[in-house]
Amino acid sequence: MAKKKVAAKKSAKKATKKVAKKATKKVAKKATKKVAKKATKKVAKKVAKKATKKVAKKATKKAAKKATKKVAKKATKKVAKKATKKVAKKAT
Structure confidence at residue 12 (pLDDT): 66
Structure confidence at residue 88 (pLDDT): 73
Structure confidence at residue 77 (pLDDT): 73
Structure confidence at residue 46 (pLDDT): 72
Structure confidence at residue 78 (pLDDT): 72
What is the C-alpha to C-alpha distance for residues 11 and 4, in angstroms, rounded to an integer? 10
pLDDT tens digit sequence for 38-88: 766 676 677 667 766 766 677 667 766 776 676 667 766 776 777 777 777
What is the C-alpha to C-alpha distance for residues 79 and 89, in angstroms, rounded to an integer? 15
Q: Of 72, 91, 92, whose CA–CA distance to 80 is shortest?
A: 72
Predicted structure pTM score: 0.23
For residue 1, pLDDT over 60 is answered with no
